[in-house]
Amino acid sequence: MIDPAALTGSEIPSIWHQTWTMLRWSNPLGFVFTTIIGASFGSFANVVIHRIPSKMSLLKPASHCPNCHKPIPPYHNIPIISYFILRGRSACCDEPISPQYPIVELLSALMLGSLYLLNGWTIDFLFQSGWMILLLILAVIDLEHYRLPNSLVLSGVILSILWMIFSPDQSWLDAVFGLVTGFGLAGFAMLFGRIFKGEWSGVGDLKLAMALGFTFGPARFFFLYLVSSIAAILYFIVRRGKTKERRVPMGPFFAVGTWITIWGGAEVVRWYLGFF
Ligand SMILES: [Zn+2]
């Protein structure tokens, strides 16, 4: 577990921080509960993944079968479990259900459960979870449609502004420098891509990079971008010759990079400081 007080030294914890630290619960029940909540958010993530690219409302209509459009009763809509009970086929019309549904729910459950172990129920837990669910949604949409919808990236920025307001460990100056770093690195990648006729990095990636830079500050974002880029380059090399597609969806790699940064971010900052 990372103790935020150890990172900022003399900083006095805010009321918010103290309250959330008190709410922290080292009981395994807390972990189980958070994991179940994570699976439910995964279920909602699936709705967003399905509806945002086709500009549908997130609230109406209620869950329905994508094949025959019949409503799905709640007892057939239990995250992860229903997929296995129904043996991967819809109850209404016996069509195969995409494994994407249980996979997204499982990933969301595991992410929130392990972020709880990292932070307990703190402000950092809330915002890291929010960003990871958002990145999971962006990753799947990017894989399917090669785009990162503005509304989702903007939701991330709003989340980060709230994080700044409520967390004593975030600095506005760092955020602005991070945003500029994001613009610089992803802008360079975009330019480089145009010159060499690849389309590895587009305007959507630039916006997401700026949002992540704003969230993590320049030092941690530089690490995040490095990890994401290395993963994307490896993927590009492995895929070469197997497809005519020149574009690389950066969403999944930014999600992986962010995940690693959340877990190793404090260490990374310490490592940087070792150079000065
Ligand atoms: Zn159906």
pLDDT tens across 81-92, in order?
999 999 999 999
pLDDT at 4: 47
Q: How far is the CA of 110 from the centre of ligand 1 (A)?
A: 29
Domain boundaries, the chain: 1-24+121-276, 25-119
Q: How far is the CA of 68 from the centre of ligand 1 (A)?
A: 4
Q: How far is the CA of 104 from the centre of ligand 1 (A)?
A: 20
pLDDT at 10: 42
Q: In the structure encoding, which two tokens stand for residue 183, read together? A: 């613009």
Q: How far is the CA of 94 from the centre of ligand 1 (A)?
A: 7
**What contacts 177, CB < 8 A, 6 or more positions away?**
217, 218
Q: How far is the CA of 176 from the centre of ligand 1 (A)?
A: 48
Q: How far is the CA of 96 from the centre of ligand 1 (A)?
A: 9
Of 33-37, 43-47, 138-142, 233-237, minimum mean pLDDT range: 233-237
pLDDT at 197: 67
pLDDT at 35: 95
pLDDT at 184: 95
Of 11-15, 53-57, 77-81, 211-215, minimum mean pLDDT range: 11-15
Q: How far is the CA of 43 from the centre of ligand 1 (A)?
A: 18
Which 3-state string (H, E, C) describes the chain? CCCHHHHHCCCCCCHHHHHHHHHCCCCHHHHHHHHHHHHHHHHHHHHHHHHCCCCCCCCCCCCECCCCCCECCHHHCCCCHHHHHCCCECCCCCCECCCHHHHHHHHHHHHHHHHHHHHCCCHHHHHHHHHHHHHHHHHHHHHHHCCCCHHHHHHHHHHHHHHHHHCCCCCHHHHHHHHHHHHHHHHHHHHHHHHCCCECCCHHHHHHHHHHHHHHHHHHHHHHHHHHHHHHHHHHHHHCCCCCCCECCCHHHHHHHHHHHHHHHHHHHHHHHCCC
Give residue 187's pLDDT band: very low, low, confident or very high (50, 70, 90). Answer: very high
Q: How far is the CA of 39 from the centre of ligand 1 (A)?
A: 22
- CB distance 228 to 273 below 8 Å: no
Give residue 200's pLDDT band: very low, low, confident or very high (50, 70, 90). Answer: low
Mean pLDDT within 115-134: 92
- Exposed, middle or buried, 186 (CB in 10 Å: 0-12/13-18/19+)? buried
CA atoms within 13 A on the CB side of 183: 7
- Give me the residue label for tokens 């007080």: 5
- CB distance 225 to 211 below 8 Å: no
Please provide the average confidence, as pLDDT, over all residues in the chain: 86
Q: How far is the CA of 58 from the centre of ligand 1 (A)?
A: 19
Of 31-35, 238-242, 253-257, minimum mean pLDDT range: 238-242
Give residue 21's pLDDT band: very low, low, confident or very high (50, 70, 90). Answer: low
Q: How far is the CA of 92 from the centre of ligand 1 (A)?
A: 4
For the whole model, what pTM was predicted?
0.86
The C-alpha atoms of residue 143 and residue 157 are separated, in whole angstroms, by 22
Q: How far is the CA of 66 from the centre of ligand 1 (A)?
A: 7
The C-alpha atoms of residue 130 and residue 111 are separated, in whole angstroms, by 10
Of 37-41, 68-72, 156-160, 178-182, minimum mean pLDDT range: 68-72
Q: How far is the CA of 56 from the centre of ligand 1 (A)?
A: 19
Q: How far is the CA of 69 from the centre of ligand 1 (A)?
A: 6
Percent of the chain clearing pLDDT 90 (strictly above): 57
Q: How far is the CA of 71 from the centre of ligand 1 (A)?
A: 8
pLDDT at 262: 92
